[in-house]
Chains A and B, each alone.
Chain A
Amino acid sequence: MATATVKAEGNVKAEGKRQKAETPSGFDVMKVRADFPILSERVHGKPLVYLDSANTSQKPTSVLQAMDDYYRHANANIHRATHLLSERATALYEGGRAKAARFLNAPDPRTIVLTKGTTDGINLVAQSYGRSTLKPGDEILLSWLEHHSNIVPWQLVAGQTGAAITVVPINDLGEIDQDQYAKLLSPRTKIVAIGHVSNALGTINPIKEMIAQARTHGAVVLIDGAQAAPHLPIDVQALDCDFYVLSSHKMFGPTGTGVLYGRKKLLEAMPPYQGGGDMISSVTFEKTLYNQVPYKFEAGTPNIAGVVGLGAAVDYLSTIDRAAALVHEDAVLGYATEQVRAIPGARIIGEARHKTGVLSFMLEGVHPHDAGTILDQQGVAVRTGQHCAQPVMDRYCIPATIRASLGIYNTREDIDALVRGLHKVREVFA
């Protein structure tokens, strides 16, 4: 153990110079870390090393403050009352929608449906758009990289409509096979649903090209942006996608809130997803008229505080030089990849040429779950398991991986702690 640690630290020193060269001057990671109070937490008596941001990100003080302020000074139901607090709440809620629209460069806030999260957004599109348009013989095209959330809602609607699901394979690097994608697209393809970034492997998919190809066949394209939102710039108009879904909690906002961008023409034609208050314009027992988009899809009192927090997260990200932050994150990911690869018995799963935020790997002779427990005891939080992506695990014939995932606040020191922890794991299982 002692020699292994010394060796790891030796590498760190050599790497230190390169880190300075790679992390741009426009990005001060220590300043960013100071914005996230939980990062000074101690776990099992050790400083917290949080490497599980692909699971959920931590939240900056400004997000916590905005939600607290909402409950202290503006809490009321929206769109429903004439009093001042309701006006404040409605303004904050609609402000959150406008900020989400800016974040995605959507043409109009009315193209933004506020949801419970990515999963809710995909289910909405599957059950509303999919269920009302799909017929037997139609195909829904997915990729082998998808999260269960971008598989199961399509299986449900396929079962309801008689449509079939086809799956684009991935290569050994963990990239979608583009030749196969081109071959599988046909006039039968009605919906293409693909992740922007893989949660299990970190692969960035070439979605702009894939969307363009799908559209030449007349298919409607949904992009699952849950893992892209905290890392990459997103422009739904430049992408020319039909639907883009994301979760607030992966991009430094609260849980229980998400965004569905939809092309306005499609949203207007789609039937409601759920019935209830706020989604109607008039109700009688004979006939109910639905509200306009996006309200047609927002039945019931929404997660108002969550949307306020989402807006604050967008504001927070707008104060950061995100291009510089991405260069920093890529530098840390590159460092993590080199350091983990150097550990005897380590095998990296997913080595796509374009990756962000995720390092999935195995340690020979150690089940990932055991590694996770031992890392946790040293303060290092990673996710171990199948990452809700069982087909990816089956593709590599592995039961699970250890996944270290990064946020804008992670440093090379976090990676050094991970590597020290992994040497401890090896020691226990030697």
Chain B
Amino acid sequence: MSQVNELYQEVILDHNRRPRNFRAIDAPTATQEGYNPLCGDRLTLYVTLDGDVIKDVAFQGSGCAISKASASLMTEALKGKTVEQARELFDKFQAMITSDHAGPTADLGKLSVLAGVREFPARIKCASLAWHTMKAAVAHPSTALRAGDTAAPVSTE
């Protein structure tokens, strides 16, 4: 069961039980939905930008422990970062959860608790859903989906 314990570390279980920034933001700069049709995980991400800086970021939705904890940890990590820094973090995070060998994860800080996901190929999309949603939200914030829009959400499929 050591792999399971590696995956479901206490930090992850804690963020699943008490997700941080789990709320809507009134009048955000961008709103983007993300959806994993395989398991039904669904989240809405709200981002407020101050120029190029992520001033506030929050999410709502339902999903498994991995997707919820990943979204929660992501919101904590992104606040105060520039959009460019957020994209760099996306790339590093993506590399960490998909690489075959354990690469250096020190500069990912708390996010490195999700490194165990790479041993569970079926769960990688759970961990990356929030990040793909964020990438779409900051790509074109003025055209990102507003809550209530019916256009297609970011999909992991």
Contact A373 B39, CB 8 Å, known A367-B63, A367-B65, A428-B8: no
Given the known inter-chain contacts A367-B64, A367-B65, please indicate yes or no for A373 contacting B4, CB distance below 8 A: yes
Assuming the A-B contacts A373-B123, A399-B62, are A386 and B8 also in contact, with contact meaning beta carbons closer than 8 angstroms in the complex?
Answer: no
Q: Are B126 and A377 neighbours in the complex by a CB distance under 8 Å?
A: no
Report if B40 contacts A (CB, 8 A).
yes
- Given A377-B1, A424-B1, A428-B8, A370 and B40 touching (CB < 8 A)? no
Q: Is the CB of B3 within 8 A of A399?
A: no
Question: Contacts of B42 on A, CB cut-off 8 Å?
Answer: 399
- Of the residues A369, A386, A424, A428, contact of B64 by C-beta under 8 Å: A369
- Whether A385 sits at the interface, judged by CB under 8 Å, is yes
Q: Is the CB of A429 within 8 A of B13?
A: yes
Name the one of A366, A373, A374, A400 contacting B40, with C-beta atoms under 8 angstroms.
A400
Whether B73 sits at the interface, judged by CB under 8 Å, is: no
Within 8 A of B (CB), among A341-389: 366-370, 373-374, 377-378, 384-386
Closest to B2 in A: A377
Interface Cβ pair total, 8 Å cutoff: 52
Size of the chain A interface, CB-CB below 8 angstroms: 20
Q: With an 8 A cutoff between CB atoms, is B38 at the interface?
A: yes
Chain A residues closer than 8 Å to B123, beta-carbon distance: 369, 373
* Residue A393 lies at the interface, judged by CB distance under 8 Å to chain B: yes
Q: What residues of B have a CB within 8 angstroms of the CB of A374 in the complex?
A: 4, 8
Least distance between B12 CB and chain A CB atoms (Å): 10
Q: How far is the CA of A393 from the CA of B39 in the complex (A)?
A: 11
Contact of A386 with B4 at beta-carbon distance under 8 Å, contacts A369-B126, A370-B66, A373-B120 already known: no
Residue of B nearest to A425 (CB): B4
Most interface-central of A368, A377, A378, A393 (chain B CB within 10 A): A377
Chain A window 230-245, contacts with chain B (Cβ cutoff 8 Å), 1 for yes, 0 for no: 0000000000000000
1/0 per residue A390-430: CB within 8 Å of B? 10010000011000000000000000000000001000110
Given contacts A369-B126, A370-B8, contact A377 B39 (CB under 8 A): no
Write out the residue numbers on chain B whose beta carbons fall within 8 Å of the beta carbon of A367.
63-65
Contact A385 B38 (CB under 8 A): yes
Chain A residues whose CB sits within 8 angstroms of the CB of B5 once the complex forms: 428
Centre residue among A368, A369, A393 by max chain B CB count within 10 A: A369
Q: Is the CB of A385 within 8 A of B40?
A: yes
> Which residues does chain B contribute within 8 Å of A373, judged by CB atoms?
4, 7, 120, 122-123
Docked-complex contact B7 and A384, CB < 8 angstroms: no
Residues of A101-136 whose CB lies within 8 A of B: none
A-B contacts, 16 listed (Cβ < 8 Å) = A367-B63, A367-B64, A369-B66, A369-B126, A370-B8, A370-B66, A373-B4, A373-B7, A373-B122, A377-B1, A385-B40, A386-B39, A393-B40, A399-B63, A428-B4, A429-B65
Chain B residues with CB under 8 Å of chain A are 1, 3-5, 7-8, 13, 38-42, 62-66, 120, 122-123, 126
Among all A-B residue pairs, the 3 with the closest Cβ atoms: A367-B64, A369-B64, A399-B40
